[in-house]
Amino acid sequence: MQETLVVVGAAVLRNGRVLAAQRARPEALRGLWEFPGGKTDPGEIPEAALVRECREELGAHVRPLERVGPDVPLPVEGRRAVLRLWTAEIVEGDPRPLEHLALRWLSAGELRTVDWLSADLPFLEAVGAHLTHR
């Protein structure tokens, strides 16, 4: 049986806000918001994938801090996959939307005002605990 694919996501925290990124593709997900990240490469440690994906997508160097929430099942290209999330902090650089339509820094009060991918929804409560209210 094929191994479960781990898709990593980063809840990048700064000044009591979290970074949300608006997907450009595929068409079915365009306009929806996510925690930036992506698929681990074969043999790649998930935390390394998180750092790599944030560098590719945001042009920033981040450091994973702690796991948040459970593994959320997620079908990817017909494979068994899970979404796994970490909080993260910026080590260097200012995130830019290199592959997304837009980025937003959300406070606790704003966290549910964007239209999240459904796999990201189970993480909102735990992420919200790291944010300031306004």
Q: Which of 18, 20, 62, 74 binds ligand 523 (CB under 6 A)?
A: 74
Q: Which is nearer to ligand 523, 2 or 134 (CB)?
A: 2
Q: Which is nearer to ligand 523, 9 or 108 (CB)?
A: 9
Number of residues that bind ligand 523 (CB under 6 A): 13
Q: CA 66 to CA 47: how far, in whole Å?
A: 10
Q: In Å, how far are 15, 17, 95 from 104, measured between CA atoms? A: 13, 9, 10
Written as one letter, the residue type at 92 is: E
Q: In Å, how far are 1, 11, 28, 134 from 69, measured between CA atoms? A: 26, 11, 26, 23
35 binds ligand 523 (CB under 6 A): yes
108 binds ligand 523 (CB under 6 A): no
117 binds ligand 523 (CB under 6 A): yes
